[in-house]
């Protein structure tokens, strides 16, 4: 079983701008989800609304502007087809980390999601597959949002 999803994208924007897009609830809701309830401060547990996929509670676990942002969550259509709003730290979860660095064309953003091997066997593979495709989709939306103001 693979444990790590790792994806990178180059975004034609300064690091501060990209960091705001991933760490500001209002901007995050513009490209990743439909809405956000709460703040993205370390120790907080905002809820993101992913429309037909349901609502998901995040546990914000790291923020080092403008280079690093991280959360833990319980996701995946096989296990939680209508979302998951309980405390993710009290259940098997995955860690999502964003690493940003300057690049000649703007900012290199790497997202790393780990912890799939520790999920219950009944849904770990499906969760890994769902999130692998999900990150490809979401990073493309993030790049368009930051560069043009619209994720579409």
Residue 77 has pLDDT above 70, yes or no: no
Q: Can you read off the two tokens belonging to residue 67?
A: 């280079």
Q: Which of 12-26, 47-61, 121-135 has the highest mean pLDDT?
A: 12-26
Answer whether 109's CB lies under 8 Å from 119's CB. Answer: no
Q: Which residue range(s) make up the domain with 19?
A: 4-148
CA distance 31 to 21: 8
Segment 57-85 shows an average pLDDT of 89
**DSSP per residue over 53-95, as a string?**
G-EEE-EEEEEETTTEEEEEE---TTT-TTEE-S-GGGS--EE
Per-residue pLDDT at 49: 94
Give how many domains the chain has, as a whole number. Answer: 1
The CATH number that applies at residue 21 is 3.30.530.20
User: Quick check: pTM over 0.85?
Assistant: yes
């Amino acid at each position: 079983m693979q444990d790590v999803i790792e994806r990178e994208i180059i975004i034609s924007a300064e690091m501060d701008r990209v960091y705001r897009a991933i760490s500001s609830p209002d901007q995050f809701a513009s490209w990743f989800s439909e809405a956000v309830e709460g703040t993205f401060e370390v120790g907080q547990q905002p809820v993101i609304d992913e429309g037909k996929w349901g609502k998901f509670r995040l546990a914000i676990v790291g923020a080092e502007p403008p280079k690093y942002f991280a959360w833990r969550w319980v996701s995946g259509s096989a296990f939680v087809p209508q979302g998951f709003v309980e405390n993710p730290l009290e259940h098997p979860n995955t860690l999502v980390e964003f690493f940003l660095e300057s690049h000649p064309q703007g900012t290199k953003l790497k997202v790393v999601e780990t912890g799939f091997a520790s999920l219950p066997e009944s849904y770990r593979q499906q969760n890994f597959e769902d999130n692998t495709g999900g990150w490809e989709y979401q990073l493309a939306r993030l790049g368009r949002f930051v560069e043009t103001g619209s994720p579409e």
